Amino acid sequence: MNQIPIKDVTPKRDNSNATNDLYAKRAHIYVKYYKGFFKNLKTISGVLMLAMFYGFSWIQWDGHQAVLFDLPSRQFHVFSFTFWPQDFMLLSWLLIILAFTLFFVTVFAGRLWCGYACPQFVWTWFFIWAERITEGDRNQRMRRDKSKWSGEKLARKTAKHALWLFIAAASAIAFVGYFTPIRELTPAVFNWNLGPWETWWIGFLTVATYANAGWLREQVCTYMCPYARFQSVMFDADTLIISYDEKRGENRGKRKKGADYKAQGLGDCIDCDNCVHVCPVGIDIRNGLQYECVACGACVDVCDDIMDRMGYDRGLIRYTTEHALEGGETRVLRPRLIGYFIALCAMFIAFSYTLYSRVPLEVDIIRDRGQLYVQASNGMIENVYTLKLANKSQVDHQFSIDISGVEGITMAGERVVSIRSGELLDYPISLQADPRFLERPNYDIIFRVQALDDKSILVEEDNRFIGPVKR
């Protein structure tokens, strides 16, 4: 398996009298505004992600919040599905499927998740936008940070941080709104009537979002996220990555438009450094593939714009593969990618079948172990059970209870019970059988519980009926 080498481009110190520090001071990254195709894609994906995050909790579905993780009631509503703690296995399946999806996408197209869908970078770009509209573009921000404090500087800095805090607080409220109904939470926030847990989580998430997207930014991806570290294990020479065409671009050098730069021994790269100025993680893609790169395509857009202005062909920096850069042919279908795809399809089909064939009713039968059986005053043999019935659907139902397995067995009590949506009902029943029909000391019996208004909601559970031992 051929892996793409990751280059270490950490600046080396040429100072024999100084000791090498384990940690280097962070250099603030001033991201330059730019336009382009991949910027538009990133904007669309970011807006969709933010719209779903802020909007899903406000959608009503069958009389309740469409997406609500109701921890006190131990119910997790996701549109038409309601999940209980007993459905934890489905969550495990879902996480495994998402992990394989990430592996598949990474092998095929590198870190597209990081550049276009990762929440850390979606919010980072959101905060960069807020920074630009309050303090100006890159050069303006750099000059202002170097200048002395003034009324304008204070006002712009205050506006930026106020907007950051507003976005962070709105994000925290939206997140907590998936655990506390958002239509109750929002008025409570404005009325200062929050409970202790809501107050804690909104405060914590506000600070975390403000710090991660406003101050830490690329450091989260570089130092905290493990994905940056193990991505090279999944890359190969046919993985789609952002690369600089060194053969075409070198030697670098500035020149006038229309000049015969080939005669000067120059390549297509005019050494404008715009690819560095737009990079949200502050790397120079011309130094080769680096683990900090999040494949956002910013350098591709700005380089294509420069090539258009100079009258050169686009693609000096582009999405490509290692094989393509070397003049070879890219193999799209390869064993590892096919293996991930087959495994992903199999797991998705199994998960979908399990999810859609899932019956929203749980029946657990507990037999009274205090005594094996009793003989009633009418001479019948009686066994006592407790039925634990959980209505896991989002509507109320009436359920009929039927028993079979012993000839002439009867049930004392109502055969039809009403259970509200999300209710767990303990329903005691007693079964009686004529001892004349009990040839054996125990029998397998079947409890059949079915919704009267929906015949597809049916659960059958077996248990034991105990009788006297005949000699």
Note the pLDDT of residue 412. Answer: 85
Note the pLDDT of residue 14. Answer: 47
Is residue 12 scored above 60 in pLDDT?
no
> Model confidence over 129-163: pLDDT tens digits?
999 999 999 999 999 999 999 999 999 999 999 99
Q: What is the mean pLDDT of residues 186-212?
A: 96
Note the pLDDT of residue 133. Answer: 96
What six digits make up the tokens of 350?
Answer: 């199994």
Residue ranges of domains in the chain: 1-9+25-358, 361-466
Note the pLDDT of residue 378. Answer: 87
* Rounded Cα distance, 280 and 131, in Å: 13
Contact (CB, 8 A) for 172 and 62? no
Q: What is the mean pLDDT of residues 186-205?
A: 95
pTM of the model: 0.83
Per-residue pLDDT band at 10 (split at 50, 70, 90): very low
For 145-184, b where at least 16 C-beta lie within 10 A, e where not — what string?
Answer: eeeeeeeeeeebeeebeebbeebbbebbbbbbbbbbebee
* Rounded Cα distance, 179 and 177, in Å: 5
Q: Which residues pair with 339 in a beta bridge?
A: none
Burial label for 381, CB within 10 Å (0-12, 13-18, 19+), is: buried
Task: Tell me the percentage of the chain whose pLDDT exceeds 90.
Answer: 66
CATH code of the region 361-466: 2.60.40.10
Q: Which residues pair with 81 in a beta bridge?
A: 78
Those residues with Cβ within 8 angstroms of residue 424's Cβ, 6 or more apart along the chain or in another chain: 388, 389, 390
Note the pLDDT of residue 23. Answer: 59
Per-residue pLDDT band at 16 (split at 50, 70, 90): very low
Q: Which of 350, 341, 289, 346 is nearest to 105 (CA)?
A: 341
> Model confidence over 271-292: pLDDT tens digits?
999 999 999 999 999 999 888 8
Note the pLDDT of residue 6. Answer: 53
Contact (CB, 8 A) for 435 and 409? no
